Structure formats: structure tokens, C-alpha cells
Structure 1
Amino acid sequence: MFAPEPDNDLYVVVDVVVSVTAGTASVSSMNFEWIGDDGVAVSALSGALSGCAKNSLSSANDVRAGQKRAGQVVFDVPSARGSIEFTPKTFGPAKASWKA
């Protein structure tokens, strides 16, 4: 009701679960990126203030192996056709990708 209109036509809300399998990891919605079918990348920052997530993925440091973090990540995108990429390190390669 109070969410601002999306700049790029629509908000896509994605339910995510991050499971740490070895060592420790930091988890944040900023580890996710939307890649449109046109190849344009959109960070989760685009929808962070939308108010569309009912259960936002909360940031956590030093999540240990065997632990999980779950929540929603919101993207402000021009089309619902694309994929989501997970990059656990800010300047590293994507470790996982899912087609939306």
C-alpha cells in the first residue's frame, strides 16, 4: 500500500534459502543479483526499500556450516523473465544461478 511504484515496471519477490555447507559465510540480500533475459544485471538494492518483502532476508556474518538463512529478496525489474545469481563474495564469481 505504501510501496513506491517500481522504476522498471515491476517488483519481483524471490524466496531464498542459503545453506552453508563448509566453513563460515556472510549472508545478505546484496549477495543476489537479477540478470534479465537481455543480459542487464539488477542488484537487490533496486527493490530493498520497496516494502514488498513480507520476510526480508536478514544479513548475518559468520554463519557456520550446517546453518541456514531464509527470507525474501526484492528486485525492481523491467520483466519477470530472467535469472537470479548468488555471489557470496562482493567481487567474486557467481556460485549459483536459477532461472525465474
Structure 2
Amino acid sequence: MRKIHLAGLAALTVFSLACGAGSGNTGSSVTGGDGKSVEAAAPQESTAVAKVGQTVTLTRDGLGDKTVVDVTVTNAQQSTKEPGDYGSKPEHGVFLALDVTVVCKEGTYDANPFNFKFVAKDGTVSEGAFASGFKPALHATDLSAGQKVAGKIVFDVPQAAIAGGRIQIDGIGLDYDKPAAYWAL
């Protein structure tokens, strides 16, 4: 019976190590328009912080499956109404609309508007708003190396929350529930 327990424990350990090999933080770095690194995460922190307009490179290498993605967030604009004749008004204050471009450099990546969150200075997190008047919207798109997608993401937030706020992008793969990088507004 003891041999069975030890064999089971050994199998569980191997399984845990194999599953854990793909976990950990998605790496991130920030580049300016010239491609030079302008700001990287502190050594104890793996989450880069960029300014709106800068490109963040997300890198994930797990179980021999490497993904490298460049994400750029630009053109932050506030609006008290959706564009169009019948545009709705925000429930929380203003719509914050941003342009996003995602370029898959290596591997595959699921570009998705739900990968982004608005984080206020006080830590309050807001998911994307359903505001279809902001065109073109960023749609969920599976990208392979060499492919890109662009579109708008929109948040419905209190206007006072925008000062000091940040746009968060989630990590890749098993890090989908962890912040990978931020853009400061």
C-alpha cells in the first residue's frame, strides 16, 4: 500500500511541475516609437507601466510555446454620449474610448476587448462598457504570428476617476487573470 501512495505522490508531483511550467507572470516591457526600451518593470515587479501612445510587448514562454505580442493603446477620448443619433449616455459619468492595436509577433494570441480593464487611482476596477456607437470596435480575434487587429475599447467611468487612472491588460495563457501591463492616462 505504501508503494502505491509513493507512486501516486510522485505522479502528482510530476503533474504539478508540468502544469506549473506554463504558469508564472507574463513578461512585459514598454517601447517608444523608435523601438528602444523606455521603461521596464522594476525587478520585483513584472508589470510594465507605459504612457498612452507607447507600445507594450507581452512575452510568454511556457512549455515550449512562446508568444510575443505588441499592444499599443492610443487616443484616449472622453464622451458624455455615444456617437450617432441614438447614442446612449454613460451610467457612471463619461465614456472613455481608446484605440488599441494588437500585433502578434510570435506564437498565437487571443486579442479580446475583455483583456482590458480600467483601474482608478483608488484601485476600483471597471470592465469594458457595451457602447456600440464607438467604431470600429475591437472584436475578439485569434491572431497568429504576423497578424494584427485594431479597434476601440470603451469604459463607462466617473470622470473624476480618470485622473490617475490606468488601462490594464491581462496576461497571456494561464496568466489571463493577472495584470501584465498598464497604460497611465
Counterpart of 2:110?
Answer: 26
Q: Which has the larger radius of gyration?
A: 2
Match of 2:100 in 1: 16
Q: Which moved more, 1:85-94 or 1:9-18?
A: 85-94
Query: Relative CO higher for 1 or 2, CA cutoff 8 Å, sep ≥ 6?
Result: 1
Q: Give the equivalent residue in structure 2 for 1:2.
A: 86
Aligned partner of 2:139 in structure 1 is: 58
Structure 1: tracts of 5 or more residues without a match: none
Q: What TM-score comes out, normalization by structure 2 length? A: 0.48
Tell me how far apart the structure 2 counterparts of residues 97 and 66 of structure 1 sit (CA, whole Å): 24
Opposite residue 92 of structure 1, the aligned amino acid is D
Which consecutive unaligned segments of at least 5 residues does structure 2 have? 1-84
Percent identity for Structure 1 against Structure 2: 28
Per the normalisation by structure 1, the TM-score is: 0.84
Aligned length, in residue pairs: 96
Deviations 1:1-56 (A, max 9, x none): 32222111000001111121221011111111000112100011xx22x2341210
| Equivalent position of 2:167 in the other structure | 84
CA deviation string 1:52-99 (max 9, x = no partner): 4121012112x1122211110000001222110111457432222101
1:84 and 1:91, CA in 2 relative to 1: closer, same or farther beyond 3 A? same
RMSD: 1.7
